[in-house]
Amino acid sequence: MTTLNRRAFLKAMGISGVAVTQATALQEVLAHAVSQGGFVPTSATERDPITHVINRLTFGPTDHLIRNVQEIGVSAFIEAQLNPENIDDSEFDATYGEVFPLLNEPSSELMITEFEMRQQENNRNGVAQNLMRQLIGNWIYRSLASERQLHEIMAQFWANHFSIHTDSIPDIFLRLDDERNVTRANPFGKFRDILYASAKSPAMLTYLDNATSRKEAPNENYARELMELHTLGVNGGYTEDDVKAVARAFTGWSVTRLRFGANRANENTEEPGQFYFNPEMHDTEEKVVLGHVIPAGGGIKDGEMVLDILASHPSTAQFISTKLVRRFVSDDPPATLVERTAQTYLATDGDIRSMLWTIFTSDEFWNATPKFKQPFEFIISSLRAMNYAPSRFESFARWLQPILINMGHIPFGRPSPDGYPDVGTYWMSNLLTRWNVAIDIAHGMVNGAQSSFRTLLEANNVGSDAPSILNFVGQLLYGRPLNTIEMDTINAYLSAEGTTTETLQDMIALMLAAPAFQYR
C-alpha cells in the first residue's frame, strides 16, 4: 500500500492528525503501527500465491481451505472452482439445506398464500418477509460455508450486474424466480443465456416498468438500462433512436397478474407473476437497432433479435470484460487484460468460464495491487477466518442484517439499477462500523453463531502462549508471518494492558480491522 493510501485509510477512520488523540486505545495502536509500515497489505512480489488466489476467488481464507489449496495446487484449485458441479458440497447441504425451506417452493404458490393470508381478518403476517430473510440468509450462508465459493461470487456478481431493488411484497416473490433462473442458473455459461433469462425475468420487467409497456406508449426504462447497464455500457455506441426502437421491440413482454382475488390472472395462465408475451400490446412495425433491421410482424422475436444483436456486439464484450476484470483484479482494470478478455468473449460467444480463465491465468491477475473489500466481503471473510458457523438463523440475522443496512450493502437493497459500486473509494466511509464488527467477531459476540476458534488452534497444535496464537492468526489472515513491527506493536500492547483472554481478543480485532485484512 502506498503512503497516500495509508493516510487515506487512517483519515477515513478518523484517526489521523489531531483526531488520533481522541481515538480508542486499539485505534491508536493500529494508527502508529500502520505509520511505521505494519499491518499493511503484502505487495504482489512478496505475497503467497495461495493467499492471493483464495482472496480473489473466495470470500476469504479458512484453515480448511488453505490446506486444500496447498494439497492440490493453485491451478487445480482454479480449475475446480470454475467447474463447481464437480465440487462435493454435501456437507453444506446437510448442514444448511433445510434452513431456508421457502426457497424450494414455487413462487406462484407462495404469492397465492400471501394474498389469501392477507385476506383473512386481522391477518397481515404473510410469507413475504420470511421469504426475504431467507433469500438474504441464503447468500450469507453460502458465502460463509459453501465449498463452491466462486460459484457464489459469480451468482452475486450477476445479481449486482442485473440489479433489482427488492422492497415491495410482489417484488420479493418475483426475486425468488430471478435468483433461480437468472443469477444462479449457470453463472459460468454464455452471457447471451444469462441476458435472455434476465430479459424474461418478471422481476426485471416489473422493476424497470416493461411489464406495462405497450405499442401506444412504449416505456423506455428497460430499453435504456438494457443497453447502458446490462450490455453495451454508457459509451457503447447506441443513440436515443436506438433506445426508442428497443423499447418498441419489447412492447408486450409482460407479467401475469401479481395478485389473486375475484379477478384471476391472465387467461394464458393461472399462475401469478409469470412471464408472457402479449401480442395485443406489441408494436408490429419495422424497427432499426444499431443499424440492424428488425422486420415487421416478428412478434416476440423482435425482442429476441435485439438481445442477439446486443450479446454479440464488441461493446458488450468490452463492457462485461471490464466489470469482470474490475471484480477480480483492480479498481482500475488494466486495459491490456480487458482487451484480451474481450477477445475471449468474442471468440467463444461470450463464454464466462473462458473469460475467467483468461483473467486468472494472466500476469495482471497475479501482479494485481490490493483491492479494498466491500462490507459484505469484509464481514464474511472475518467470520470465515475465525471459524464461525451460524447456529440460530433468526438470531444471526438480527445481528448481521442491521450491520449490512448501516453499511449500505444489504443484498437486493441497491435503490438504483446500476448495482453496488465495485471500487474501494465508495466504501471507505464505513470503517468505524468495521471496527465494531471486528471487535464483535474477535470477542465472540456474534448472536446466533458459534466460533470454533479453540478447536482450530488445537487442530494446528498451536501453543497457548500469546505469540504462538497471534502468529497463527497472522498467518491465517495475511498469508504470512507477522513482521517485526507488528509483533513489537502487539507485545507493547500486551505488556501495557496485561496478557489476558480479552487483550488477546483485542489484538485479533486489531488484526481483522487492519488494512492488511481490509484489502484482498
- pLDDT given for residue 422 in this prediction: 97
Give the residue among 259, 253, 258, 260 at the shortest CA–CA distance from 275.
253
- pLDDT given for residue 23 in this prediction: 35
3-state secondary structure of 461: coil
Give 146-173 as a 3 state SS string: CCCHHHHHHHHHHHHHCCCCCCCHHHHH
Largest Cα–Cα distance of the chain, in whole Å?
A: 81
- pLDDT given for residue 119 in this prediction: 74
- pLDDT given for residue 270 in this prediction: 62
- pLDDT given for residue 18 in this prediction: 33
- pLDDT given for residue 198 in this prediction: 98
- 13, with CB counted inside 10 A (0-12, 13-18, 19+), is buried
332: cell is: 482500475
Amino acid at 118: R
- 268, with CB counted inside 10 A (0-12, 13-18, 19+), is exposed
- What distance, in Å, lies between the first and last C-alpha atoms of the chain? 12
497 touches 431 (CB < 8 A): no
Average pLDDT per 10 consecutive residues for the chain, totaling 520 residues: 42 41 64 90 92 98 97 98 96 90 92 81 74 94 97 98 92 94 96 98 96 96 98 97 98 84 45 93 98 97 98 98 98 98 98 98 97 97 96 92 95 96 93 90 94 92 93 96 94 91 92 96
Supply the DSSP symbol for 20.
Answer: G
